[in-house]
Amino acid sequence: MSPLVFQSQSDASETPFHRFLRHFDWVLFLDVVLLCLAGMVMVYSACLRFGHPELYFGKQFFAFAVGLTVMFVLATVNYQIFGQYPKTLFFLSLSLLVLVLLVGKTSRGTKAWLFLGPLAFQPSEICKIAAILVVSAWCAGNWREIPRLKGLFIPFLIVLAHVGLILLQPDFGSTLVYFPVLLGILFTAGTNYLYLFIILFYGMVAGSVLAVHVGFSLAPDFLQEHAFWNFIFKGTKIGKQFLVLQLFMTGAALFAWWMARELRLRIPGIYFFFIFLVALAGWSSSSLFLNSLKGYQKKRLTVFFSPRLDPMGAGYHVIQSEVALGSGRIFGKGLFSGTQGRLGFLPEQHTDFIFSVLGEELGFVASGFVLLLYLILLWRCIAIAGDARDLFGSLAAVGIGCMFAFYGLVSLAMVMGMAPVTGLPLPFISYGGSSLVSSLAAVGVLLSIHVRRYTH
């Protein structure tokens, strides 16, 4: 039985606007505003060496104003309307990605921008929010199918459609966020843990093959002296050695199945077959990925393992970022007084490496405070997911939380040399109008879910 809800006379006479303000998540709102303000200050500081930093600050402030407007509009709109029209949202999202491929402008080798007069925006930033809502709506509407294998097909198809179109731009970095978001939504929706394990096993195999390839590429002398390991190294990419290794894997799987049968172990043969297929898929996809990498992307992967191999080239970014963070110490060198940034030693300091500028100028204390703000953001995402009035709201909040967590972790790991340079923005802080507006739009969806968390 549902509990009785008693309304006082004042509650009954309460206007929708006052009810909206009373249920509004002020902690989340103030947290995000503080992050945005910190971001605008750091953008101004990072752009001092370019001259006219007020231009960059003005553009970021304009994006902040637009983002706040979008956030409040989405907060007032009932989020459930997105769950009622997932097909429309899906096709609108894909149409934007197709449009940018047809009429978009190319910048730094990536055709990812649409221009509306003097304004430019990146559709992939908006489409990731749409993908979260579409996947959440499908999982909520088909929750009985989620524990079954066929229940994973549509969510993966939705994600792969977005990822495929973004890769055509090509913009590999923007596709990375889709998979942790998808796993978070599927886990919350009640997917069978076995299927999640298979997905993670696939990722482990693909990542291991990638690590082996990059690791061996750092030791060419070792490969020349050891023919066996040189053969393994060549087998990580598509070619004759790759086919031989796949045949060896097939034989190993058959031998393992035969041994289990001879030892009368009660392990169904389908398990061996399925594990083999997943391993084969992981190895093959990693090999195809290596074949498709451009030269500068291969350098970034190599530098991730050892930045000192190319200190004046691909490793320069990481080394200078570590120097900037370390030189800030506890309280920093002072706002607008960072030497690595002001003297131009730190590349892409207003976008990819803006946290390094923060660490150098304001030190460990301010950096820790910003990290605390991100933890509060994730706490509010989890709390909103738990308090949502329906499954769609919970899944959407989890997806948005996973998106912010992934972007934050990768960006912070990147500036500390713990992850390859991917070009992903630090939410609310990095310079970029599309990223800021889309992040605030995602917060608007969270606020809409929170405001409507009660069912009377």
Of the candidate ranges 25-29, 241-245, 311-315, the one whose mean pLDDT is the lowest: 311-315
Q: How far apart are CA 375 and CA 28, in angstroms?
A: 11
Summary mean pLDDT of the chain: 81
List beta partners, residue 120: 115
Q: What is the mean pLDDT of residues 395-413?
A: 93
pLDDT of residue 61: 94
E strand or H helix that includes residue 238: none
Confidence band (pLDDT; 50, 70, 90) for 185? Answer: very high
Torsion angle, alpha carbons of 118, 423, 214, 310, to 10: 90
* Helix residue ranges per DSSP H, 142-268: 153-167, 172-175, 178-189, 193-217, 220-225, 227-235, 240-262
pLDDT value of position 315: 64
Least-confidence region, from 67-81, 114-128, 429-443: 114-128
Confidence of residue 272 (pLDDT cuts 50, 70, 90): low
Query: Does residue 442 have a pLDDT over 70?
Result: yes
What CA dihedral angle connects 199, 405, 442 and 69, to 10 degrees? -160
Backbone angles phi, psi at 84, to 5 degrees: -85, -20
What are the pLDDT digits (tens) for 50-104? 778 889 899 999 999 999 999 999 999 999 999 899 999 999 999 999 998 888 7
pLDDT band at 6 (very low <50, low <70, confident <90, very high): very low
Higher-pLDDT residue of 94 and 252 is 94
Position 309 pLDDT exceeds 60? no
Q: Is 4 a residue whose pLDDT tops 50?
A: no
pLDDT band at 215 (very low <50, low <70, confident <90, very high): low
Give the chain's length: 456
Task: Pick the more confident residue, 415 or 393.
Answer: 393
What's the whole-number mean pLDDT along residues 311-340? 75
364-373, Cβ contacts within 8 angstroms, sequence gap of 24 or more: 364/328, 364/329, 364/330, 364/331, 365/330, 365/331, 365/332, 366/332, 367/328, 370/35, 370/38, 370/429, 371/412, 373/31, 373/34, 373/35, 373/38
The letter for the amino acid at 247 is L
Q: Rounded to an integer, what distance in angstroms lies between the CA atom of residue 358 and that of residue 334? A: 10
Q: Is residue 336 over pLDDT 70?
A: yes
Closest CA to 56 of 70, 41, 67, 68: 41
Task: Read off the pLDDT band of 306 (50, 70, 90).
Answer: low
Whether the pLDDT of residue 439 is over 90: the answer is: yes
Tokens standing for residue 378: 């994730």
State residue 51's pLDDT score: 77
pLDDT tens digit string along 347-359?
777 777 888 888 8
Contact (CB, 8 A) for 365 and 331 = yes
pLDDT band at 314 (very low <50, low <70, confident <90, very high): low
Antiparallel, parallel or unpaired: β 119-121 and 110-116 = antiparallel
Q: What is the pLDDT of residue 214?
A: 67
Reported as a single tens digit per residue, the pLDDT across 25-44 is 899 999 999 999 999 999 99
Per-residue pLDDT at 410 exceeds 70: yes
Token pair for 338: 């960072």
Of residues 28 and 333, the one with the higher pLDDT is: 28
DSSP letter at 49 equals G
Identify the residue with better confidence: 147 or 318: 147
R_g over Cα of the chain: 25
Q: Is the dihedral of CA 57, 59, 65, 70 positive or negative?
A: negative
The whole-number pLDDT of residue 69 equals 96
Check pLDDT > 60 for residue 7.
Answer: no
What percentage of the chain has pLDDT greater than the value 70? 83
- DSSP codes of every residue in 254-297: HHHHHHHHHTT----HHHHHHHHHHHHHHHHHHHHHHHH--HHH
pTM value?
0.82
Q: How far apart are CA 370 and CA 367, in angstroms?
A: 5
Min mean pLDDT across 206-215, 310-319, 425-434 is at 310-319
* Between residues 135 and 259, the one the model is more confident about: 135
User: Model confidence over 216-234: pLDDT tens digits?
Assistant: 666 666 667 777 777 777 7
The residue written with tokens 């978070």 in the block is 184
In this predicted structure, what is the pLDDT of residue 11? Answer: 53
Q: Please state the rounded mean pLDDT for residues 311-329.
A: 73
Q: Which residues have CB under 8 Å from 57's CB, separation 6+?
A: 40, 43, 44, 47
- How distant, in Å, are the alpha carbons of 106, 127, 322, 339, 362 from that of 100? 10, 12, 36, 39, 39
Break the chain into its structural domains and give their ranges: 19-202+296-451, 203-295
pLDDT confidence of residue 76 = 92
Q: What is the mean pLDDT of residues 177-190?
A: 91
